[in-house]
């Protein structure tokens, strides 16, 4: 992209001298080592096969018209550059979106594998609770048997009585 303006600048530098030279001549000759030379000046030493080539004159052009053409070309290049930049930005956004989707897909795949492994493992067999289906234990008791029990509140203490020795039922008086 940078080479195109550079080429235009070099052409702009080369064309005016050529355009101002009416009927410019190019000299062509072959030296003793059989090398073909082209130049705008004749060779210093005399050569047998010297040819002169007449260059056609460039038509005269209006500098204002050239400036308008160059401005139009530059505007077209700026427009093309903006379009290419938009396309590159869109491609970068698509790549980011594709990477995010791939990451989500990998997470979903890992979750699916974990769920399949959890389903494939057998559940540990639990034995029924001892009194849950007994005919000898009342239903109300079975219902509350495995629930957490309330803490027992202590009863208010009675005034202390003098202690007496225990009476034995098996001893003789």
Among 5-14, 43-52, 126-135, 150-159, the least confident range: 5-14
HEC string for the chain: CCHHHHHHHHHHHHHHHHHHCCCCEEEEEECCCCCEEEECCCCCCCCCCCEEEECCCCCCCCHHHHHHHHHHHHHHHHHHHHHHHHHHHHHHHHHHHHHHHHHHHHHHHHHHHHHHHHHHCCCCCCCCCCCCCCCCCCHHHHHHHCCCCCCCCCCCCCCCCCCCCCCCCCCCC
pTM for the full predicted model:
0.35
Q: Dump pLDDT digits (tens) for 15-57.
A: 555 545 556 788 898 888 888 988 888 888 888 888 888 877 7
pLDDT in tens, 143-170: 666 666 565 565 555 555 666 666 666 6
């Amino acid at each position: 992209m940078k080479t195109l303006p550079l080429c235009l600048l070099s052409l702009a530098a080369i064309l005016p001298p050529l355009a101002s030279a009416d009927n410019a001549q190019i000299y062509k000759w072959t030296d003793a080592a059989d090398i073909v030379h082209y130049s705008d000046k004749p060779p210093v030493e005399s050569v047998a096969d010297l040819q002169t080539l007449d260059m056609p004159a460039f038509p005269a052009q209006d500098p204002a018209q050239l400036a308008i053409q160059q401005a139009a070309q530059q505007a077209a290049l700026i427009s093309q550059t903006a379009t290419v930049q938009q396309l590159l930005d869109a491609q970068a956004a698509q790549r980011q979106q594709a990477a995010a989707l791939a990451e989500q897909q990998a997470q979903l795949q890992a979750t699916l594998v974990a769920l399949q492994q959890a389903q494939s493992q057998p559940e540990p067999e639990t034995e029924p609770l001892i009194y849950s289906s007994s005919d000898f234990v009342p239903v109300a008791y079975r219902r509350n048997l495995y629930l957490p029990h309330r803490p027992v509140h202590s009863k208010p203490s009675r005034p202390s009585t003098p202690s007496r020795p225990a009476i034995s039922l098996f001893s003789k008086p």
